[in-house]
Amino acid sequence: MPLIAPSLLSANFLKLSDECKMLNDSEADWFHLDVMDGRFVPNISFGIPVISAISKATKKTCDVHLMILEPEKYAEAFRDAGANNLTVHYEACVHLHRNIEQIKSLGMMAGVAINPHTRVELLRDILPDIDVVCLMSVNPGFGGQSFIPNTLEKLSTLRKMINELNLDVKIEVDGGITLENAKQIVDSGADVLVAGNAVFKSADPKQTIHQLKSL
């Protein structure tokens, strides 16, 4: 059974409190929180004060996806804001291993996200040190984009690598997940499904989360 991580990027920001309540009452496992800096990605979302407010409104895992340059400057602030998982981008970190060590020393689970063009094989030497791989199935920066089909092949390769190395690393797939493609994604090896538009723009978000969960 996959873990479900609704992305609050697609939530109604005027009703964040209601959105958090809805997720708390749902079968959602993680709150996925997308932070964008307008430099690593061509968009700006929300940051530390908003995450701090959201994390106080839930007991569920706060999964913070940093699409920012120099994440080491803010790791402690995100921890203080309530992040449980902190994910940084492979493409944004010159000293990825150091960044991962920092995140773990701050008491958070550490994740590495890779863009659609980045080969999963490049994660080989960092896999033993991390808790989560966030496989981007769209180019990061925006919700509501279409799933890039070759992610499925990358997903199977990554699943195989993790199994062969006998590691306990979760694979999270992020971007363009719908009720139609989710089963294939789970069958290809995903442990965690991020879903923004599919959840928040649906007629019945709780029911959609239930459907994703019961795949």
Q: Which of 65, 89, 154, 170 binds Zn ion (CB under 5 A)?
A: 65
Which of residues 140 and 189 has its CB atom nearest to ligand DX5 in the complex? Answer: 140
Q: How far is the CB of 163 from ligand DX5 (least distance, A)?
A: 25
Q: How far is the CB of 89 from Zn ion (least distance, A)?
A: 10
> How far apart are the C-alpha atoms of 119 and 28, rounded to whole Å?
29
- Enumerate residues 23-62 that contact Zn ion by CB under 5 A: 34
Q: Which range in 64-72, 96-104, 119-127, 151-159 contacts Zn ion by CB under 5 A?
A: 64-72
Q: Is 67 helix (H, G, I), strand (E, B) or coil?
A: strand
Q: Which of 3, 4, 9, 83 binds ligand DX5 (CB under 6 A)?
A: 9
Q: How far is the CB of 206 from Zn ion (least distance, A)?
A: 21
**Would you call 105 exposed, middle or buried from its count of C-beta atoms within 10 A (0-12, 13-18, 19+)?**
exposed
Which of residues 101 and 204 has its CB atom nearest to ligand DX5 in the complex? Answer: 204
- Enumerate residues 69-88 that contact Zn ion by CB under 5 A: none
- Interacting residues of 10 by C-beta distance below 8 A, sequence separation 6+: 143, 144, 196, 197, 199, 200, 201
Q: Is 168 a catalytic residue?
A: no
Among candidates 61, 59, 52, 106, which has minimal Cα distance to 82? 52
φ and ψ at residue 162, rounded to 5 degrees:
-65, -40
Around 40, how many Cα atoms within 13 Å sit in the side-chain half-sphere? 23
**Residues binding ligand DX5 (CB under 6 A):** 7, 9-10, 32, 34, 65, 138, 140-145, 174-177, 194-198
Active site residues: 34, 174
